[in-house]
């Protein structure tokens, strides 16, 4: 069964540093998403991406965040200057269509900002 993969599984960084989280969506999917989950809290939508453009972003997704699809397979989330409160699990997801709710989530990257 095809699956979404994410690297690294765990990233530790110092406050103020830039991090790039990487995702490989399912190959025939066209819609890509990033979510985050702070420990013990609910899953929060960050951004959706289609046709090399952001479709929608949440209030969390401010100027320090950016997304990119640098080639035909990868989808990345960059955090420019990390803060302690960016510590969370970051999930990438993909879907064939935005309509309906069947999205496929990756295993996540745990980001720890010290």
Partner 1 sequence: LAKTTQPISMDSYEGQEVNITCSHNNIATNDYITWYQQFPSQGPRFIIQGYKTKVTNEVASLFIPADRKSSTLSLPRVSLSDTAVYYCLVGEAGNTGKLIFGQGTTLQVKP
**Least CB distance to partner 1 at residue 80 (A):** 23
CA–CA distance, 48 with 113 (Å, rounded to integer):
24
What is the nearest approach in angstroms of partner 1 to the Cβ of residue 56? Answer: 4
| 84 versus 99: smaller Cβ distance to partner 1 | 99
Phi (first) and psi of residue 80, to 5 degrees = -70, -50
Query: Which residues of this chain interact with partner 1, rule CB under 8 A?
Result: 4, 31, 33, 35, 42-45, 48, 50, 55-56, 58, 89, 91, 93, 95, 97-108, 110
Q: Nearer Cβ to partner 1, position 15 or 54? A: 54
Cβ closest to partner 1, residue 12 vs residue 15: 12
- We find the least distance from the C-beta atom of residue 72 to partner 1, in angstroms, to be 20
Q: Is 107 exposed, middle or buried (0-12, 13-18, 19+ CB in 10 A)?
A: middle
CB atoms within 10 A of CB 75: 25
Give min distance, CB of 69 to partner 1, in A: 15
């Amino acid at each position: 069964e095809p699956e979404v993969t994410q690297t690294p599984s765990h990233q530790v960084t110092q406050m103020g540093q830039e991090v790039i989280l990487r995702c490989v969506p399912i190959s025939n999917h066209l819609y890509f998403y990033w979510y985050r989950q702070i420990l013990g809290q609910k899953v929060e939508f960050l951004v959706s991406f289609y046709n090399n453009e952001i479709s929608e972003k949440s209030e969390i997704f401010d100027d320090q965040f950016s997304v990119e699809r640098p080639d035909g397979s990868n989808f990345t989330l960059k955090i420019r200057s990390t803060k302690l409160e960016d510590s969370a699990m970051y999930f990438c997801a993909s879907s064939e269509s935005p309509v309906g709710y069947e999205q496929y989530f990756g295993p996540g990257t745990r980001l720890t900002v010290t």
